[in-house]
Amino acid sequence: MTVLVIGDVVTDILTVHEGPLAIGSDTIAAVRIAGGGSAANTAAWLAAAGCPVTFAGVAGRDEPGDARVAELDQAGVATSVRRVEGMATGTVVVLTSDAERTMFTDRGANRLLGPADVERALDRPGLRHLHLSAYVLFDADCAPAGRFALAEARRRGLTTSLDAASAAPLRERGGAGFLATVPRPNLLFANLDEARVLGSEDPAQLLAHADAVVVKSGAAGAAWADANGTARAPGRRVAEIVDPTGAGDAFAAGFLAAWLAGQNAAAALEAGNELGARAVAKVGGRP
């Protein structure tokens, strides 16, 4: 049974520098161009974990769009990507230093995602679960598609998960109040910053937003809560954190692959931590 992942596909311009930025001058850095987008990253990690996966989104009919779709195909991800003439594929500039990152985002064609794109993807046979990136919900142009995806997937009998995606836009849109306007998912993923915006670092205190909640705490591990109880898993030791880009996306993929295979919450947390640790040990957000 296949996981359908819906969200952004972008070109990541990854800039890994040492020390502070020399504003107004030069800063030595390693620069790499690669496929990105939180949802597309999760889809690639799901494929790497052996989970059948389809990615749905929108890209420009341009060279970056060709490259991004080809990368997903090569990673073993089936794609339902609408290509749009005259719109650029999304781009994110990622500045990484000392395990922290700052992103500059041009969502481009991603904002054109509509309910028809979602319905087209949901019509594919064999789907079991829908995973949505909240970046879709943060943009007024495509938010209706995100809300439709969560509601329609549950109507069709799929389980659903939502990645809270990013603390700053979540805070700007009202945090917990914003999630109250979104169809309730079966599972919510949030990192510590996002969980604080929603009201608590304790996943049990966030069950107003989803049937189950996972809070990711980086090296400190991750925690789960649902109506039946809680579970925790310690973080994985990493010799060197090279680039945190995509670590949360990888965690979600590891967790979902294990959880949908019937493993319990503790084992799924361990699987998420394993892929998250793999992600931070390399440059870029993909396997």
Which sequence spans correspond to the domains of the chain? 2-9+37-89+106-280
Strand, helix or coil for residue 187: strand
Nearest of 108, 107, 130, 276 to residue 191 by alpha carbon: 276
Query: Positive or negative CA dihedral for 245, 247, 252, 254?
Result: positive
Asked whether 129 and 185 are in contact (CB, 8 A), the reply is no
Nearest of 192, 186, 133 to residue 164 by alpha carbon: 133
* Catalytic hit among 12, 117, 243, 249: 249
Give pLDDT, residue 238: 76
pLDDT in tens, the chain (287 residues): 799 999 999 998 988 777 777 788 877 877 888 899 999 999 999 999 999 999 999 999 999 999 999 999 999 999 999 999 999 999 998 887 665 667 788 999 999 999 999 999 999 999 999 999 999 999 999 999 999 999 999 999 999 999 999 999 999 999 999 999 999 999 999 999 999 999 999 999 999 999 999 999 988 899 999 999 999 999 877 767 776 778 899 999 999 999 999 999 999 999 999 999 888 888 777 89
Give pLDDT, residue 280: 82
Nearest of 25, 46, 69, 15 to residue 252 by alpha carbon: 46
Would residue 202 show up in a list of annotated catalytic residues for this protein? no
Nearest of 246, 234, 237, 235 to residue 282 by alpha carbon: 246
CATH code at 2-9+37-89+106-280: 3.40.1190.20
Pairing of strands 212-216, 222-226: antiparallel
- End-to-end CA, the chain: 22
Question: What does the CA dihedral 104, 91, 150, 74 come to, rounded to 10 degrees?
Answer: -140
Give pLDDT, residue 239: 64
